[in-house]
């Protein structure tokens, strides 16, 4: 088995780092004598050491306490009964989710909030990280645009971004009820998952975004100009979300007049 041991001159630098304390006897490889295999192995081992360093240096007592708090908060909220009912009006149920988008040299993250009744995309944010500012940005946009009345239900999965103290506080301050998917059940948030599929197939997979600015411009155009204003939905009588909402408001405006003339 010694002939399968990585030669000393080819061993990645970190193997000599005593802090990592790797067991070299476990590192055996049937090398084909190609540089590609060495490079793949080196990349893999670098990733392992990076993870090791992050876990040792970053997981302190404070992090454990914060994580425990978030898990406790997420268990506190259950699936709201309203999510299983047929929606009959706007701003009755919002759904939220996060997805990643590939750029040429990195990944960025998109948070969205559609209205479950009209399918209209009312809040979104695109950032380089998954910190709380991502979901908070989307939520603030949705609240600013819609100014919902108390009683609205906000449904999401049990991600730490949605269970964070700042996010749940903003929901409560605006009279929004909190609903989270049942553990291990992706179907509870199927409506938002369906929107993500549409976004990926009709926009993201058809583009090659060079950087964050370009991705933000293209995605904004798709969400605001294409999806909201032009894309037809069979569930909405083959109307775009914006046109469907306008038809609802027009109906609400005309209905009292009909009652007046009938009287």
pLDDT in tens, 105-139: 999 999 999 999 999 999 999 999 999 999 999 99
Domain 73-213 class, CATH top level: alpha beta
Q: What is the pLDDT of residues 226-243, one digit of tens each?
A: 999 999 999 999 999 999
In the chain, what percentage of residues exceed pLDDT 70? 63
Confidence of residue 85 (pLDDT cuts 50, 70, 90): low
Q: Is a pLDDT exceeding 50 seen at residue 145?
A: yes
CA–CA separation, 185 and 138 (whole Å) = 24
pLDDT number for residue 8: 52
C-alpha span between 16 and 10 (Å, rounded): 12
Instruction: Tell me the mean pLDDT in the region 192-218.
Output: 96
Q: What tokens were used for 205? A: 């997979």
- Whole-model pTM: value is 0.68
pLDDT range class, residue 13, cuts 50, 70, 90: very low
Instruction: Give the model's pLDDT for residue 239.
Output: 96
């Amino acid at each position: 088995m010694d002939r399968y041991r990585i030669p000393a001159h080819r061993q990645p630098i970190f193997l000599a780092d005593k802090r990592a304390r790797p067991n070299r006897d476990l590192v055996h490889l049937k090398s084909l004598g190609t540089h590609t295999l060495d490079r793949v192995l080196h990349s893999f081992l670098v990733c392992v050491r990076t993870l090791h360093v992050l876990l040792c240096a970053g997981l302190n007592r404070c992090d454990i306490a914060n994580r425990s708090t978030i898990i406790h908060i997420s268990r506190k909220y259950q699936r709201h009964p309203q999510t299983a009912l047929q929606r009959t009006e706007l701003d009755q149920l919002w759904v939220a989710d996060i997805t990643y988008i590939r750029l040429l040299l990195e990944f960025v993250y998109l948070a969205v909030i559609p209205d479950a009744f009209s399918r209209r995309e009312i809040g979104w944010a695109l950032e380089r990280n998954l910190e709380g500012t991502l979901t908070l940005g989307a939520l603030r946009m949705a609240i600013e645009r819609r100014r919902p009345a108390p009683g609205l239900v906000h449904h999401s999965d049990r991600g730490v971004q949605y269970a964070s103290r700042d996010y749940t506080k903003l929901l409560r301050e605006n009279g929004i009820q909190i609903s989270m998917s049942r553990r291990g059940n992706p179907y509870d948030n199927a409506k938002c998952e369906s929107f993500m599929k549409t976004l990926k197939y009709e926009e993201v997979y058809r583009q090659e975004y060079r950087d964050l600015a370009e991705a933000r411009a293209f995605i904004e155009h798709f969400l605001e100009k294409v999806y909201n204003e032009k894309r037809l939905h069979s569930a909405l009588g083959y109307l775009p979300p914006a046109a469907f909402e306008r038809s609802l408001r027009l109906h609400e405006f005309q209905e009292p007049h009909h009652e007046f003339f009938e009287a």
